[in-house]
Structure 1
Amino acid sequence: MPEIETTRLRLKPYTIDDLDELAVILSNPEVMRYSPRGPIPQEKVKAENAYLELKLNFKLLGSKLFAQGSHSSTLR
């Protein structure tokens, strides 16, 4: 996605550097009033975005993302 810039506004794709500000915005009840999801706790925003960033990096490198777990914990 290209950046779009005017004299008063700059639109750009989010990066990991924007995560703290994004977490503040998405956790604000007033900002998220009309979102069906509602406000999102800052810790959850950061965790979800960290996962998506990791997944994107793996995709760009042509690798797969796997989680590790033991059979005993998943087969109960």
Structure 2
Amino acid sequence: MNDRDLALAALVQTRQRGEPMPATVRVSGAVSDTQRFLESFRFDRREAWPAISELLSEFNSRPLVSEIAGSL
């Protein structure tokens, strides 16, 4: 997992807690718009790691990272 993956996991946890999504995300010191950050995963075809897919109950199997980001 890299810094982008960790930031995505943090957003998943934010959603799981029912908190509002932040307007921006900080990754490796750079700040970007949350929506643009999530869209950057659109073509990520890696299988999501178990720790992140378990946080989202709507997935019965291990989804792709792009599906996780798209669900947020």
TM-score norm. by structure 1 comes to 0.27
Q: Choose 1 or 2 for highest CA Rg.
A: 1
Greater relative contact order, per chain length (Cα 8 Å cut-off, separation 6+): 2
Higher strand share: 2
